[in-house]
């Protein structure tokens, strides 16, 4: 098993990519702290997973816009599991608006969760990992951290920040036994996309040369690779999981 006896924290774990990653980590032998908002389905999902993998999955409530809650999440995870071997820093939200009418508060809210939230989790995780002398931190970026797209000023700015934050943290942590990488998903077939009309969905599919949307478990497999020792010489990377979306762009 690729993560046997490793202790992994996953934020945004109640659904979609986060939940799929929690399942893959459990399948590969990890103990998992599944973190999400207190009012989310995270507690129920963790209970379901723990029934399948007894004693190996717990829920930790967190709002990543709160430094206090993030620091407590790390402390609780370490107290319950004993160490912090891996973190999938995945909590995030979307948002669409024309840049010329984007309200400050909405823009800042998206940046606070998608960039500052990633930083808060990274900072607290690295503090713990440095004390251990080991660990793997995987941030969830996006294809829109590499290329822009209309109506996504806040989201693209935040995810672009995550990509360069990842590189910077990788440089800082390399001498301390810690690796930092990112995954950059294309459009993934999650419940959020089920709200789209058929024409919009087909337009998204056509953006991917592979001819379909991605699946949550495909991103989870990429995150798993970066979390486990198979990627021991990989740090500072941004692994595109995008069905060829970015291959023809420069």
What does the pLDDT look like over 6-35, one tens digit per residue?
Answer: 999 999 999 999 999 999 999 999 999 999
Residue 249's pLDDT is what?
82
For residue 45, give its domain range.
7-239
Counting Cα atoms < 13 Å in the Cβ hemisphere of 205 gives 11
Local structure of residue 156 (DSSP, 8 states): H
What does the pLDDT look like over 179-192, one tens digit per residue?
Answer: 999 999 999 998 77
Give alpha helix (H) positions in 28-116. 42-52, 67-81, 104-111
Confidence band for 158, pLDDT divided at 50, 70 and 90: very high
What does the pLDDT look like over 219-246, one tens digit per residue?
Answer: 999 999 999 999 999 999 999 999 999 9
Q: Is residue 65 part of a domain?
A: yes
Q: Is residue 57 part of a domain?
A: yes
- Asked whether the predicted pLDDT for residue 250 surpasses 70, the reply is no
DSSP string over 186-205 = --B--GGGGGS-HHHHHHHH
Tokens for 12, please give them: 């945004």
Q: Is residue 72 part of a domain?
A: yes
- The continuous run of DSSP H or E covering 37 comes out as none
What does the pLDDT look like over 77-125, one tens digit per residue?
Answer: 999 999 999 999 999 999 999 999 999 999 999 999 999 999 999 999 9
Q: What are phi and psi of 178, to 5 degrees?
A: -120, 140
Average pLDDT across the chain, whole number: 97
Residue 194's pLDDT is what?
76
- Asked whether the predicted pLDDT for residue 206 surpasses 90, the reply is yes
- Cα separation of 145 and 34, whole Å? 25
Residues above pLDDT 70, as percent of the chain? 100
For the chain, give the longest Cα–Cα distance. Answer: 51
What does the pLDDT look like over 134-143, one tens digit per residue?
Answer: 999 999 999 9
List, by residue number, the catalytic residues: 155
Q: Is residue 50 part of a domain?
A: yes
Is 57 or 250 the better-scoring residue by pLDDT?
Answer: 57
Residue 208's pLDDT is what?
95
Q: Is residue 244 part of a domain?
A: no
Is residue 109 within 8 Å of residue 64, measured between CB atoms? no
Give the CATH number, domain containing residue 194: 3.40.50.720
State how many domains the chain has: 1
Q: Is residue 209 part of a domain?
A: yes
Q: Is residue 249 part of a domain?
A: no
- The continuous run of DSSP H or E covering 180 comes out as strand 178-185
Q: Is residue 245 part of a domain?
A: no
């Amino acid at each position: 098993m690729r993560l046997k006896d490793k202790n992994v924290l996953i934020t945004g774990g109640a659904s979609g990519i986060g939940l799929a990653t929690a399942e893959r980590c459990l399948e590969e032998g990890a103990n998992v702290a599944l973190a999400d908002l207190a009012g989310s389905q995270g507690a129920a999902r963790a209970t379901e997973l723990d029934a399948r993998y007894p004693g190996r999955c717990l829920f930790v409530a967190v709002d990543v816009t709160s430094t206090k809650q993030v620091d407590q999440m790390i402390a609780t995870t370490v107290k319950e599991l004993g160490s912090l071997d891996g973190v999938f820093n995945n909590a995030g939200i979307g948002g669409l608006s024309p840049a010329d009418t984007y309200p400050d508060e909405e823009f800042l809210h998206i940046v606070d969760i998608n960039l500052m939230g990633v930083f808060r989790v990274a900072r607290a995780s690295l503090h713990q990992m440095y004390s251990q002398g080991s660990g793997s931190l995987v941030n969830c970026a996006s294809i829109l951290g590499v290329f822009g797209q209309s109506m996504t000023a806040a989201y693209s700015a935040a995810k672009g920040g995550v990509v360069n934050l990842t590189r910077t943290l990788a440089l800082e942590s390399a001498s301390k036994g810690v690796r930092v990488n990112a995954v950059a998903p294309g459009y993934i077939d999650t419940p959020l996309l089920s709200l789209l009309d058929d024409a919009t969905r087909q337009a998204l599919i056509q953006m991917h040369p592979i001819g379909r949307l991605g699946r949550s478990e495909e991103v989870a497999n990429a995150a798993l690779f970066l979390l486990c020792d198979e990627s021991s010489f990989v740090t500072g990377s941004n692994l595109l999981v995008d069905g060829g979306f970015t291959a023809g762009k420069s």
